[in-house]
Amino acid sequence: MQSQKKMRRFGQLFAGLGLGLAFFALGGADDEKPKFTVKEVMEKAHKGKTSLAKKATDGKATKEDLAQLLEYYQAMALQKPEKGDLGDWKKRNDALVLSTQEMIDGKKAGLAAYKKAVDCKACHTLHKGD
């Protein structure tokens, strides 16, 4: 009887510790600071005729190029737009992240999805400040 009580208490302690760690981990995710600002992502990934985005849309990006693009887009997705609907911002960033990951994974649909997702004018019209 005594050992059953100890086992139950141990189980409760273990469960409580697990919950505490889960809340700590989830709470930390909200405070995550992006590695790159949106401006840095635009300059590093999209600016110029030889940009990573141009290489990707031309189907000439290496796995390393695509991995760097993915890192940029993941950082951008953690931020809020200068203007416009946050839901639309999230949808557009999710499309960039997903299509880039599909290209990394060698999925044929990834390139077409990326070309559709990387619509600079539409995104800037809705989300870039003046």
Is the separation of the CB atoms in 78 and 20 below 8 Å? no
- The whole-number average pLDDT for the span 30-58 is 91
Q: At residue 25, does pLDDT exceed 60?
A: no
Q: At residue 5, does pLDDT exceed 80?
A: no
Question: H-type helices in the chain, by residue range?
Answer: 2-30, 38-41, 52-57, 63-77, 86-104, 109-117, 120-127
Return the closest-CA partner of residue 45 out of 29, 26, 65.
65
Q: At residue 78, does pLDDT exceed 80?
A: yes
- The whole-number average pLDDT for the span 19-32 is 46
pLDDT value at position 3? 66
Q: At residue 19, does pLDDT exceed 70?
A: no
* CA atoms 49, 50, 51, 55: torsion sign: positive
pLDDT value at position 23? 41
